[in-house]
Structure 1
Amino acid sequence: MKLSRTWALAALSASAMTLGVAHAEDRSDWPSSFTVGTASQGGTYFAYGSGWANFVADNIGISGGGEVTGGPMQNMALVHTGDLAFGLTTMGPARESIDGNSPLAPGMKMDNVCAMFPMYQTPFSVTTLSSSGIESIADIPAGSRIGFGPAGSTSDTYFPRMLETLGVDFERRNGGWTDLGGQLQDGLLDVIAFAAGIPIPAVSQLEVQTDVNIIEFTEAEMNTILSEFPVSEFTIPASTYSTLNEDARAVSMWNFAIANCDLPESFVYEVTKLTMENNDKMVSIHKAARTSVPENYGKNTFIPWHPGAARWFNENGYSIDASMIQ
């Protein structure tokens, strides 16, 4: 298909900015725009996903942006159906969605979702106001009002189960992270159970406005969670928040960027190439992107890789077996 003069000039201009986008790539089947499914405002997904979308759009010559969603579970569904080109997801919700166990669509196997690249680990952490007197999981009073993030999010899917396993009795509340932070300050919530990449914007904002406690798991609590859920050990560095005087013990899940499997191979190849070859730009979007590096590709053990993404990894010495490629 012959490109219009205006589009050709725009493409040439974008290539001239060159952050690794190929000059001779055939774009005839590329979409005219794209959207990235993130999560609620005030969370890491929104900051990371919106920034990444803008970075990609600025450098490949196609308009794109982030979209507020309910988080990983909903992103799996929207990418599967093609309503979104790209999304961000956590491995636990991804597994449940692929297996047909998503609460959003029970029985539907969301198998038109492909992996693109590793993002970062999502730590599970608890935050309260210092004035609450809550300094440990065991201190949380029976019947406490706990905010678990947007319905269907990673936090909402797994944190209630984790706290129930640890014997905590609570009233479950949902909402965006920024909104929940406001409710905590106003005394409408007792605790927020966060699952998001660090630093979490909503927690950083709370620290500026009031005194908070960031509660870690005890070693025994962590071991209980590790034995019951698909998580791994994680340490929140003391430097993450001004509130922390020392590293905090936590558990975490890995996050991956995902793509609709029907997207053109060359398009996903160029987006993956741009992202994986410019980690400094990604870190400037969000510090959590320090681990958005190709060496972590092996953290995905079950989401099939998009052929475009797999081509970039295989060309650069990161072996993805053909059986793992859609």
Structure 2
Amino acid sequence: MFLAACGGNDGGNNTTDVENNGGAEDTTENTENTEEEPADNEEPADEGNDGDTASDADVGNLQLGTGSTGGTYYPLGQEIATIVNNNIEVEGFDLSAVSSGASVDNIVGISQGEMDLGMSVHLPAQDALTGAGDFEGVEIDNFGFMGHIYPEVMQIVIPADSDIETVADLEGSSVAIGPPGSGTQAAARLILEAYGLEDGDYEAFEEGFGDAQGRIQDGQLDASFGLLGLPAGGIDELAASADIELLSLTEEGISYVEENSGYEQLTIPSDSYDFMEEDVEAITAYAVLLGSMDTIDEDLGYEITKAMFENAGDIAHPQGEQINEENALNGSDGLPMHPGAERYFEEAGISE
């Protein structure tokens, strides 16, 4: 079993239990146990499609999986859907941004035909292809990379009057580590592990940053991990009502995380938030857009990618400025390219 929630904007209230919803594990098993085995060299029928092809997709009812309503994915996803709807040259096209458990939830949704597009951190997307991490034993490969959205940065918030100086000092503390199955929680546990802290060494609250804000403000939490955009609106909101700081990672801690994951070192500049007085060392990954290979054919994928990148300047959300040609392929390493996006990138002269 894996729990579907991931990304920088995990909200505990929107976490979806994949197993209880006929998750990818159940889908795989049902496929393997069909009554009739396909003949040699014959491709199995695409069950549940009633013979539809990608070009037969209902372009008037496409779904974009985002994240929790209190995070970055959902409001940014809404704006992405709006600019695509307003500018795409496809008759009858309509794309709706829907809240979800974020990355893992969106990938599973695409695999089950419940979503056509999904926002995700690039690392769980890599795991889905190989059946690793939250997808252990379940390989999902019916999605393609359609572009970079923004970098997600692990930000660890602590009260300004705290005695905590390093992650190691969180031993015995109350810590919000993100919802079960989320990218935030996976990264938080890895960071804590880098400092010798395991389950039981701290009191873990499995909730997203949005849910943890009130606990920090009320003194019920000693720290909250959040894989968020930079700057993060939630942190600005919290700083308006509480004195907080960001906890910096040490060189040794970052090295451990880099050696055991795909995260990279990033320096959070001191001018990122008004309350910051010095730079903070952190880790980062990329939020990307994934598209279904089943319901979005090459032509439709091309039009969606083109509409998004050529009109991203109309996005008001601060992270919208990260959707540009210079960053377009960030996070694409190890992921299959959607043929429609690939055609657009080649046409636009976008290459690594």
The normalised TM-score by structure 1 is 0.82
Aligned match of 1:111 = 141
Correspondence 1:40 to 2:72: no
Aligned match of 1:269 = 302
Aligned match of 2:344 = 312
Residues 30 and 267 of structure 1 are in contact (CA less than 8 Å); yes or no, is this contact kept in structure 2?
Answer: no
Q: How many residues align?
A: 290
Correspondence 1:259 to 2:287: no
In structure 1, stretches of 5+ residues that fail to align are: 1-26, 321-326
For 1:58 and 1:177, how far apart are their aligned partners in 2?
A: 32
Which letter does structure 2 place at the counterpart of 1:279?
A: A
For 2:267 and 2:319, how far apart are their aligned partners in 1?
A: 13
For 2:78 and 2:95, how far apart are their aligned partners in 1?
A: 9
Aligned match of 2:14 = none
Judged with a 3 Å threshold, the aligned counterparts in structure 2 of structure 1 residues 29 and 223 are, in CA distance, closer, same or farther, namely: closer
Q: Residue 31 of structure 1: CA displacement?
A: 1.5
Judged with a 3 Å threshold, the aligned counterparts in structure 2 of structure 1 residues 199 and 156 are, in CA distance, closer, same or farther, namely: same
Aligned match of 2:87 = 59
For 2:242 and 2:212, how far apart are their aligned partners in 1?
A: 14
Aligned match of 2:156 = 126
Correspondence 1:189 to 2:221: yes
Correspondence 1:166 to 2:195: yes
For 1:242 and 1:183, how far apart are their aligned partners in 2?
A: 21
**Could you list the per-position Cα deviations for residues 81-131 of structure 1 after superposition, in whole angstroms to 9, with x for gaps in the alignment?**
22111111112211111111253x542211011110012221112101223
For 2:56 and 2:122, how far apart are their aligned partners in 1?
A: 33
SS at match of 1:134: coil
Q: Residue 220 of structure 1: CA displacement?
A: 2.9
Q: Residue 29 of structure 1: CA displacement?
A: 5.1
Aligned match of 2:37 = none
Correspondence 1:88 to 2:99: no
In structure 2, stretches of 5+ residues that fail to align are: 1-54
Judged with a 3 Å threshold, the aligned counterparts in structure 2 of structure 1 residues 148 and 57 are, in CA distance, closer, same or farther, namely: farther
Q: Residue 214 of structure 1: CA displacement?
A: 1.0
Aligned match of 1:227 = 259
**Could you list the per-position Cα deviations for residues 225-245 of structure 1 after superposition, in whole angstroms to 9, with x for gaps in the alignment?**
222321112121222211112
Provide the identity percentage.
28
Counterpart pick for 1:49 among 77, 81, 84: 77
For 1:69 and 1:148, how far apart are their aligned partners in 2?
A: 18
For 2:314 and 2:331, how far apart are their aligned partners in 1?
A: 22
Aligned match of 2:13 = none
Residues 115 and 257 of structure 1 are in contact (CA less than 8 Å); yes or no, is this contact kept in structure 2?
Answer: yes
Judged with a 3 Å threshold, the aligned counterparts in structure 2 of structure 1 residues 80 and 294 are, in CA distance, closer, same or farther, namely: farther
SS at match of 1:239: coil
Judged with a 3 Å threshold, the aligned counterparts in structure 2 of structure 1 residues 129 and 65 are, in CA distance, closer, same or farther, namely: farther
Aligned match of 1:199 = 231
